[in-house]
Amino acid sequence: MIKINSNYAKLQSSYLFSTIAKKVSEFEKTNPDKKIIRLGIGDVTLPLPGACLSAFHEGVDEMGKAETFRGYGPEQGYEFLRSAIAVNDFKRLGADVEADEIFVSDGAKCDTGNLQEIFAGDIAIGVPDPVYPVYVDTNVMAGRTGIFRDGRYEGLYYLESTEKNKFVPAPPDRPLDLVYLCFPNNPTGATATKAELAAWVEYAHRHKALIIFDAAYESFIRDKNLPRSIYEIPGAREVAVESRSFSKTAGFTGVRCAYTVVPKDCRAFDAAGNIEKLHPLWNRRHTTKFNGVSYPVQKAAAAVYTEEGRKQTRELSDYYLGNARLIRENMLSLGFPATGGDNSPYIWVRTGSDSWEFFDMLLSKAAVVTTPGSGFGRCGEGYIRISAFNHREKVVEALERIKQVLG
């Protein structure tokens, strides 16, 4: 008899964005005349930057000629991309990351979801609340939690991110072994200062813990004082892995390319308390379960780091940040406290009422899709997240419609 992994029974019936997509498609069916504007899931709408597109084409053409055809590439990514990442995303910041510490993959979602696999079943885990659901659900699947009760899984420690702490939780006064941090934050749009990250790095050293730092939205940081990488913090190399993505940086949501940094001195511990380096373990996992990102996609990703690519990707994020500013200002002027959107593409809006009801109301009355804050956790109740990823004219129209409904 084939038995299922009973931990799957603990999961909420569907992934947050699938639930929303289902609601939206039902609304579409019953209201075929309404033109829906999507400011829900953070999916980019602008086309690929020209530099990436040309490189993508070149890569495809190379695959069509016997002299330049390539079969399996290195699972960890081609050297040309890993070196470009190390130099441009880290060394330029003064952060010490080498090319062979970078593992290229098909998504930060996959990486932040898969990393837990290399740790023991009984570790103490801290997740932010509100939280990107992947961190939680993958640990549920792995059997590291109890049941879901009152909006939370038993056995997880929730790091409450509220207006009181400006959505940046401080390390708790209890030991945790694995902590997920995401800055700029999804969903709140909050950013963490160097001092705030340094407190977490110090905590991880003190408790022999590990931080999974999700920096998928790093390219939206404009404040020069904010850290772009956790490796700008002294001591982070031993206690943190960092995931980044080309999805939002360069419009790659449909192309798929990301990477995770596992520094060679990053450590965990075996059952007897002896140090084990994570780099060989992640390399083992990656080479066993993954055969690398396709060559044309890696060529396209490497073009992000050319002079042209850098300019064009900056224009992309500037465009979405322009949307974000409009959304934040309009929601504020309607009397809704709103944060984020200055160094991130998400605006976190206090609705003062049930998140799903507010979501349903905006969908039915304005045909605008947002994301209910409670879908990200208990601390998200009473909020909605509005994404800045859409065309400017659609954002402007959505805000007009919202004004008519709420104004």
Least distance (Å) between residue 43 CB and ligand MLT: 6
Position of minimal CB gap to ligand MLT? 42
Least distance (Å) between residue 329 CB and ligand MLT: 22
Least distance (Å) between residue 346 CB and ligand MLT: 8
Whether residue 280 is preceded by a cis peptide bond, meaning omega within 30 degrees of 0, is no
Least distance (Å) between residue 232 CB and ligand MLT: 23
Least distance (Å) between residue 394 CB and ligand MLT: 16
Residue 387: strand pairing partners? 346
φ and ψ at residue 252, rounded to 5 degrees: -95, 20
Of the pair 186, 317, the CB lying nearest ligand MLT is at: 186
Q: Per CB under 6 A, which of residues 178..237 are in contact with ligand MLT?
A: 186
Of the pair 204, 316, the CB lying nearest ligand MLT is at: 316
CA atoms within 13 A on the CB side of 258: 23
User: Which residue in the set 11, 41, 46, 406 belongs to the binding site for ligand MLT (CB under 6 A)?
Assistant: 41
Contact region with ligand MLT (CB under 6 A), list: 28-36, 38-46, 142-150, 152-160:
38-46
Of the pair 204, 386, the CB lying nearest ligand MLT is at: 386
Of the pair 109, 299, the CB lying nearest ligand MLT is at: 109
Of the pair 182, 226, the CB lying nearest ligand MLT is at: 182
Of the candidates 222, 259, 224, the one whose C-alpha atom is nearest the C-alpha of residue 98 is: 259
Q: Per CB under 6 A, which of residues 73..102 are in contact with ligand MLT?
A: none
Cα–Cα dist 390/386, whole Å = 11
Of the candidates 29, 53, 91, 21, the one whose C-alpha atom is nearest the C-alpha of residue 299 is: 53
- String of DSSP letters for 127-168: EEES--HHHHHHHHHTT-S--EETTEETTEEEEE--TTTTT-
x/- mask, ligand MLT, residues 112-151, rule CB under 6 A, reads ----------------------------------------
Contact region with ligand MLT (CB under 6 A), list: 19-27, 39-47, 189-197, 259-267:
39-47
Of the pair 109, 279, the CB lying nearest ligand MLT is at: 109
Q: Are 252 and 213 spatial neighbours (Cβ–Cβ below 8 Å)?
A: no
Contact region with ligand MLT (CB under 6 A), list: 35-43, 164-172, 293-301, 324-332:
35-43
Cα–Cα dist 314/32, whole Å = 37
Residue entry with tokens 């609705």: 351
Of the pair 131, 266, the CB lying nearest ligand MLT is at: 131
Contact region with ligand MLT (CB under 6 A), list: 36-44, 76-84, 233-241, 359-367:
36-44
Angle between helices 50-63 and 295-302 (to 10 degrees): 150
Of the pair 203, 217, the CB lying nearest ligand MLT is at: 217
Of the pair 17, 157, the CB lying nearest ligand MLT is at: 17
- String of DSSP letters for 381-398: TTEEEEE--S-HHHHHHH
Cα–Cα dist 228/45, whole Å = 24
Residue entry with tokens 């930060």: 108
Cα–Cα dist 186/130, whole Å = 8
| Total residues binding ligand MLT (CB under 6 A) | 5
User: Which residue in the set 37, 38, 39, 42 belongs to the binding site for ligand MLT (CB under 6 A)?
Assistant: 42
With binding defined as CB under 6 A, does residue 109 bind ligand MLT? yes
Burial of 105 (0-12, 13-18, 19+ CB in 10 A): buried
Binding footprint of ligand MLT on the chain (CB under 6 A): 41-43, 109, 186
